[in-house]
């Protein structure tokens, strides 16, 4: 079954700390993987898109990694800010469809 | 540019009532999508329109109909609302569904409650 699983479900960190969110997928065939940020009450906004040939991709303080062999991805947030409080959703493309994970809810406290 | 806009932002319906959710994009995108988001579940595709004049079922189409009114607008209709349709609905658009790395842009969502 084509699935995208994320961990942890929720995470609380202090401002300025780093954190890493995990994504495991069983989607096949795989076209690309993307990470979205969804603020409360808003629609998802894309952070990165990675194809199977890309191992690492950065967008400011966000760095995504991809291991297509083990079907794992991670999103690392450096020097967290209060504005990073949001849900982070891992999404895998299969053919013309996007398969969404359930997200990790990140809360950053001062 | 406003991007993707949705109306209304909130709606409460009684079981059996009907309503239409409106979506418009100003990015000249060819493809548009309707998703629903429920607690503990990933976004699920209801219907999509690869290009003006075409619509196709997604993962959870039962109980919904769509209309691609023109290139800008894509509406979602609930003919007879049921409590199971209580959800947050997102519209999205992208340049071309078959492009390898097409980016989807999402609207702000409509929170629908069916009592």
Q: Model confidence at B97, in pLDDT bands (50, 70, 90)?
A: low
For residue range B16-59, list pLDDT tens digits in order. Answer: 999 999 999 999 999 999 999 998 888 999 999 988 989 999 99
Size of interface A-B (CB pairs under 8 A): 46
Min Cα distance B18 → chain A (Å) is 24
Give the whole-angstrom CA distance, residue A41 versus residue A19: 23
Q: B106–A96: do the CB atoms touch at under 8 Å?
A: no
Decide if B9 touches A, using CB distance below 8 A. Answer: no
Mean pLDDT, each 10-residue run in order, chain A (110 residues): 90 98 91 93 93 90 94 97 97 86 97
Q: Is a pLDDT exceeding 80 seen at residue B111?
A: yes
Q: Nearest CA to CA, how far is B67 from chain A (Å)?
A: 20
CA distance A74 to A45: 17
Taking an 8 Å cut-off on Cβ atoms, the answer to whether A43 and B103 are in contact is no
User: What mean pLDDT is predicted for residues B102-107?
Assistant: 89
CA distance A45 to chain B (A): 7
pLDDT of B100 > 70? The answer is no
For B54-91, give the DSSP string.
Answer: --EE-S--TTEEEEE-SSSBEEEEESS--GGG-EEEEE
pLDDT higher at B6 or A98: B6
Judged by a CB distance cut-off of 8 A, whether residue B92 touches chain A is yes
Which of B5, B95, B104, B111 is the best residue to mutate to test the A interface, defined by the most A CB atoms within 10 Å of its own CB?
B104
DSSP conformational letter for A84: G
Give the torsion through C-alpha atoms of B76, B38, A39, A12, to 10 deg.
180
Dihedral Cα B11, B41, A70, A97, nearest 10 deg: -50
Residue A102 tokens read as 């359930």
CA distance B16 to chain A (A): 27
Altogether, the residues listed in chain A come to a count of 110
Contact B106 A97 (CB under 8 A): no
């Amino acid at each position: 079954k084509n699935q995208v699983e994320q961990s942890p479900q929720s995470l609380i960190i202090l401002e300025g700390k780093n954190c890493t969110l995990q994504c495991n997928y069983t989607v096949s065939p795989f076209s690309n993987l993307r990470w979205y940020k969804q603020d409360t009450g808003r629609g998802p906004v894309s952070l990165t898109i990675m194809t199977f040939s890309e191992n690492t991709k950065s967008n400011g303080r966000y760095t995504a990694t991809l291991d297509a062999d083990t079907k794992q991805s991670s999103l690392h947030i450096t020097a967290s800010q209060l504005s990073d409080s949001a849900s982070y959703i891992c999404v895998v493309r299969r053919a013309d469809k996007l398969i969404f994970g359930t997200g990790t809810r990140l809360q950053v406290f001062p | 540019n406003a991007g993707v806009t949705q109306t209304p932002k909130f709606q409460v319906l009684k079981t059996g009532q009907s309503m239409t959710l409106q979506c418009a994009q100003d990015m000249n995108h060819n493809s548009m999508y309707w998703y629903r988001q429920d607690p503990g579940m990933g976004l699920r595709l209801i219907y999509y329109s690869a290009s003006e004049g075409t619509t196709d079922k997604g993962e959870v189409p039962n109980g919904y109909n769509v209309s691609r009114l023109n290139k800008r607008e894509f509406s979602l209709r609930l003919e007879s609302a049921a409590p199971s349709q209580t959800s947050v609905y997102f519209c999205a658009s992208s340049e071309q569904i078959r492009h390898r790395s097409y980016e989807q842009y999402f609207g702000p969502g409509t929170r629908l409650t069916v009592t």
